[in-house]
Amino acid sequence: MKNKAIGVFDSGLGGLTAVKELIKCLPNENIVYFGDTGRVPYGTRSKETIIKYAAQDARFLLEHNVKMIIAACGTVSSVASNLGESLPVMFSGVLTPTAQACAQATKTGVVAVLGTSATINSHSYKNLINSINPDIKVFEQSCPLFVPLVENGFTDKDDIIVRSVVDRYVSQFKNSDVDTVILGCTHYPLLKAAIGEALGDKVRLIDSGKETALYTKKLLMEQNLLSHREEEGVREFYVSDTPHNFESIAGLFLGRDMKSKAVRIDIEKY
């Protein structure tokens, strides 16, 4: 059991922000990643569709005999919040670790959450933060243009399109009481430099992919499920559309050659 892989899924590239951190903190673990690039974005879809997609993604990962599944997706974690209950393996979304990190980080008690439309409409982060500390004031902002930007490789903070889209969503929080901002969609850390520059250095950014990876390490330790492997873990990548775009952006982000590393699968079969 311990040497089985960790399964991670997202609608596309976003979950790689969790994978990058998992590779850092759990280098000996095997990882199976599924990015639903054929059906991205999830964040503008209905609840029923998101629940259906998430169940298919999890079934695909279960076929790879994983020991744990991570929905490295703020949208799935917010909308398909019961997914874990139907799974035969340990499950984590991104909400709990991210909300906890935010509640701990804020000094002013005023925070903001950036997320997809589905995530923001669910108020999932706000509710969870306030269940940890009801005195924290939580602003919410949906940023529907961020995922298409990232999926199309627009992440450079000096790109005029990136800057103007980022400004449009976050400038309201600059020079305000907000001292902590949650990047509540796992795609957003790919825009971290641009978001950080737009907000200024007094605002702390909480990366949901990173917090989830750190939380996963803790969970696996507690459950005595860490791999015994001494060599570097094997990572497999699957996508539901042509791998080319995924491989080039993933390669840049993970800092490794991803050419011919992703395999296309038919997710509708699951």
- Is residue 143 a contact point for ligand DGL (CB under 6 A)? no
Selected from 43, 93, 196, 243, the binder of ligand DGL by CB under 6 A is 43
Q: What are phi and psi of 29, to 5 degrees?
A: -85, 140
Q: Determine the interface stretch with ligand DGL among 38-46, 82-90, 193-201, 210-218 (rule: CB under 6 A).
A: 38-46
Residue 240 engages ligand DGL in binding (rule: CB under 6 A): no
Residue of 8, 31, 40, 165 interacting with ligand DGL (CB under 6 A): 40
Which residues neighbour 104 within 8 Å (Cβ) at sequence distance 6 or greater? Answer: none
Angle of helix 208-222 versus helix 16-25 axis, rounded to 10: 50
Question: Which residue, 165 or 225, has its beta carbon nearer to ligand DGL?
Answer: 165
Residues annotated as catalytic are 73, 185
42 sits near ligand DGL (criterion: CB under 6 A): yes
Q: Judged by CB under 6 A, does residue 35 bind ligand DGL?
A: no
CA angle (46, 50, 55) in 5-degree steps: 150
| Out of 56, 119, 155, 212, the residue judged to bind ligand DGL by CB under 6 A | 119
Query: Longest C-alpha distance within the chain, in Å?
Result: 50
Give CA–CA dist 16/34, Å, rounded: 10
| Residue type (1 letter), 65 | N
Position 92 contacts ligand DGL (CB under 6 A): no
**What are the start-end ranges of the E strands in 100-175?**
110-115, 137-142
| Gap between the terminal Cα atoms of the chain | 23
Residue of the chain from 7, 11, 20, 203 that contacts ligand DGL (CB under 6 A): 11
Binding residues (CB under 6 A) for ligand DGL: these are 10-11, 14, 40-43, 73-75, 116, 119, 147, 185-187
